[in-house]
Amino acid sequence: MKKPKDNKMSKNTKKDTKKDKEKYTDLTDEETLTAWVNEKFIRTFGKIYMLWLISKNHNHGYEILKFLKDNFSIDASAPLIYSTLDILEKEGFISGIWKHEDGKPDKKEYTITEKGAKLLEIARKKILGISQNMLKNENG
């Protein structure tokens, strides 16, 4: 029997878990727990949600950050949002072009790629199925 390959996700998960233990020492404290949930949301479901936002023309990092805070009270850090956008771009799910406007700071405008659109469609179906299952089994 072949030994399963150790993939990047498992290495990153182990690394994140170790960081979490150091960073989030008291997950019973509501403020700490909320920060933990916000970070986990962005690092997991947030990638898919960011793809969806970009597909709906929320195509700048700051715009995404503001949308998450205004609509979901997710107070994610700017470095977390921008590093997630960088990952999505490196993986080929989005592409970014720097835009310059006189008198304003340059900003990177993102668009979803064909690969990103395919991933988003698959993820939406999966999320919908999971959500329906959770709601169906809420009382059981």
Q: In the chain, where are the structural domains located?
A: 30-134
pLDDT given for residue 3 in this prediction: 44
**pLDDT of 109 strictly over 80:** yes
pLDDT given for residue 68 in this prediction: 87
Summarize pLDDT for 70-104 with one digit per residue, the tens.
Answer: 988 787 889 989 999 999 999 999 999 999 999 99
Q: What is the CATH number of domain 30-134?
A: 1.10.10.10
Instruction: Please tell me the distance from the alpha carbon of residue 58 to that of residue 72, in angstroms, as a whole number.
Output: 15
Mean pLDDT of 14-40: 66
HSE-up of residue 39 (Cα within 13 Å, Cβ side): 15
pLDDT given for residue 16 in this prediction: 53
Contact 38, 81 (CB under 8 A): no
pLDDT given for residue 9 in this prediction: 41
- pLDDT-derived band at 33 (thresholds 50, 70, 90) equals confident
**pLDDT of 39 strictly over 90:** no
**Three-class SS string for the chain?**
CCCCCCCHHHHHHHHHHHHHHHHCCCCCCHHHHHHHHHHHHHHCHHHHHHHHHHHCCCCCHHHHHHHHHHHHCCCCCHHHHHHHHHHHHHCCCEEEEEECCCCCCCEEEEEECHHHHHHHHHHHHHHHHHHHHHHHCCCC
